[in-house]
Chain A
Amino acid sequence: MSDRPRGGQAADDRTADTVAGAVRWPAAGTLDRIAFARLDESSRDAVRTSPVPVLVLREPALLAVTRVMTGPAWYAIAAREGGLTISLGGTRLAHPHPGVAPARGRSIVRGEPAFVTQNEAIWSASWLENGVAYVLEVECDTPSEPRCADERTLLGLTAALSYVGGAGGQP
């Protein structure tokens, strides 16, 4: 992560407590235009203004219920379908906390070290990619159901993400 926002990005996102990382926008050739087109209009608008590269769930049934939201330095996706609640998002603002040692997760997601954990039966994976901290979470309406018995559903979803754009990489 860099301690300076990249040129053209909103430097005023940076506060005394945060550091804006330099976003590396993926090549235009990696854009999934089909997935983008499957988003509703509101979500497509949100993608266009996202300050970070937007990853979405590629599955058409999930894209149909995906809601994309953006903040000053982040985006978030909410999707609820078939007994699953899926939350996905990324931010380029990092919080430097003295006393917290750098570490790398033991798992691998999208080729990057990732932390995989379970919180009250909600599975999550977090990783750094393109200068952005991403996190994907899966919650089962019924925590005891097989899809939330282990991390396989979560990891399966992380393997099926598509890049659909952002303010620095329009489709």
Chain B
Amino acid sequence: MKYIVLLKQTPDTAELPKITPEQALAGNEGVTKVMNPWDEYAVEEGIRLKERYGGETVAMSMGPEEVNEALKSALAMGCDRAVRLWDEAFEGSDVWGTALVLAKGIEKDGGADIVLTGKMSVDGNAGAVAHGVACKLGVSLLTQVAKIVEVTEETITVERLLDEGRETVVAPLPAVVSVVKEINEPRYPTFIRIRKASRAKIPVLSAADLGLSPEEVGASAAKVKWVNLEKPAPKKRQVVIIEGETPEEKAAKLLDYLMNVEKVI
């Protein structure tokens, strides 16, 4: 079995509020970057699958050289190798352009039985890369996956988390699986693995390597264009601290506000 984990490097979540629209549009956020937190669950599951069924787990990402750091984190967690996909032509790709590059990267690497990815990125928030990659590869798509129940030579059985409950689904391999946080608890890499990963040489594949022509990817191929980015207008809130002698008095006052002033209950 072969597993490929698709991951993205994103700003550290604690730093997201500091980024300005100008920095974001310039593609230089000027903050600490880490592996997209949602993707950590995908990396962990990719490693667990290897531990359960044997085989190889490969980390893959599209992005410039700085992305090597996130790929090295995946290696430190236990992935066998990493592949980076980058070319200036990829710059400005929308989600379908990104999905096309990743799909070509997977094919170039010899394909995979299971492709794993996180639910969404903390910066773009589209949550559509898994859908795009499955579509471009023409393989099964399983989303909201909270448990991989079983993998056989030909099929994968998973539990999906719905708003209404949990659903068990069987689909043929190969499959693209996007995972939710419930699926596992990502491991911390050991010191030895971090040291080893820091020395890893990560190969880079260009548009030409992937057989992609520049007009298929990047800003010119994008079907959705970002025309503006702004900070949300902060809601003006001035907290009213509710005082009172007893909890009962405070509770009654709060309900007065909510029912009679705000009329929201």
Q: Is chain B a partner of chain A in the same complex?
A: no
Which B residues are closer than 8 A to A by beta carbons? none
Which A residues are closer than 8 A to B by beta carbons? none
